[in-house]
Amino acid sequence: MQTRRQFGKYLGTGVLAASIGEVTMGLSCSSIFTNIEAYVPIGLQAFDSILTLLDPASGIALAPIVQEVKAGFADVTAAVNAYNNAPAADKATLAGKVSTALQVVTNEIQQFWSDANLPDSGLATTIFGVLQIILSTIASFFPKLPPVTQALAARTLTKTIPIDLSKAASSPKKLKSSINDVFTANGYATKKIY
C-alpha cells in the first residue's frame, strides 16, 4: 500500500520527467500553433535568401513556383491565425486546415527544388541544405497535428529533398542558427538570416 507521501513523491518525479522531456524535445508550454507561427517567418526569410543566390534567368524561370511557395507560407500563417482566433467548437476543423497548409507548402518547396536547374554544385548544395532544414522542421509538426484529409494534387518530381528529422530545428533560434551554418559553410555568409 502506498502512502500519500510516496504518491506525492512519484507524482513529483513524473511531473519533473515530463517537464525535462519537453525541454529536451525543444517544445515549450505554448501550443504547437504558436510554435508554427514563430517558425514560418524564419522559413520564408530563408527561402527569400535562397532566391537572392539565383541568377536572373533562373529567377525568371522559377517565378511561378516561387509565388506558390510564398503563397503557401502565407496560407500557413492565415490558417494558424484562424485557429488561434476561432471559438473552441471550430478548432478541430481549423487544425486540419493548418495540417493541409503545411503539406501544401512542403509540396511547393519540393516542386521548387525539382524545377531548379542549378549547374553550380556549391549553390545546389547550399540551397539543398537550407531547404532540407525547412522541410524537416515542417515535418516535425505533422505528428502533433491532425492528418491531412484533403486530397492534394499529385506531382511528378524529378528530384526531391529527403526529410531528415534529425535536422529539424527545436526552436526558432536553432532554426536560424542551422540555416546560417549552411550558408556560412558554403561561402554565403552574407546571406545569413537574423
pLDDT in tens, the chain (194 residues): 444 444 344 334 343 333 333 333 343 324 899 999 999 999 999 999 999 999 999 999 999 999 999 999 999 999 999 999 999 888 888 999 999 999 999 999 999 999 998 888 999 999 999 999 999 999 999 999 999 887 787 788 999 999 999 999 999 999 999 999 999 999 999 999 98
Task: Note whether 22 and 29 are within 8 A (CB).
Answer: yes
SS3 52: coil
Q: Does residue 80 contact residue 127 with C-beta atoms inside 8 Å?
A: no
pTM over 0.75: yes
Residue 180: in which H helix or E strand, if any? Answer: helix 172-185
The alpha carbon of 35 is separated from its chain's Cα centroid by a whole number of angstroms, namely 10
